[in-house]
Amino acid sequence: MGAAGALGDVIHGQRRLVLPDGVALQASCWRPRHGGPWPALLMRQPYGRALASTMVYAHPAWYAAHGYLVVVQDVRGCGDSGGSFRLFANEARDGSCTMAWLRTQPDCNGRIGCYGFSYQGLTQLLWDGPDGPDCTAPAMA
């Protein structure tokens, strides 16, 4: 996968997924400025999306500069997402909806990898249905 170049060649923005029950989940997205569509890296987490830029192996912009669409989503009831947070109660259903939505985004090539640690690690393993991620890298802490 070719690198997008300097981190300045990355576009950062926000996206919103409205679930079938009407709850909206908010996500921060990074992608290369040119080319695409790209494989996606997805992190779903309850700690606020800014955490992804301070406590992961590399900042999402770094992954984007290396040819990935990076999506960091606040889970239900956390950060800027709607609904009520109930520890792991909605992750399988909401995660499956997120995967289906992400695969339809024009800048995603349909392949999705998930990453993260602790709560973010477990969300990678909770899916409702057969269409989970193509690759996972959970780290439990």
Region 7-139: CATH code: 3.40.50.1820
Q: Residue 116's pLDDT band (boundaries 50, 70, 90)?
A: confident
Are 13 and 33 contacting, i.e. CB atoms less than 8 angstroms apart? no
Nearest to 89 by CA among 80, 78, 100, 104: 78
Nearest to 135 by CA among 117, 113, 111, 109: 113
Question: Which pLDDT score is estimated for 36?
Answer: 94
Rounded Cα distance between 14 and 60, Å, is 13
Q: Residue 124's pLDDT band (boundaries 50, 70, 90)?
A: confident
Strands 10-18 and 24-32: antiparallel
Per residue in 16-37, pLDDT (tens digit) is: 999 999 999 999 999 999 999 9
Could you tell me the residue ranges of all domains in the chain?
7-139
Kindly list the distances between the CA atom of residue 12 and the CA atoms of 72, 131, 138, in Å, as whole numbers in the listed order: 11, 27, 24
**Cα Rg of the chain (Å, integer):** 14
Query: Does the pLDDT value for residue 125 go beyond 50?
Result: yes
pTM of the model: 0.90
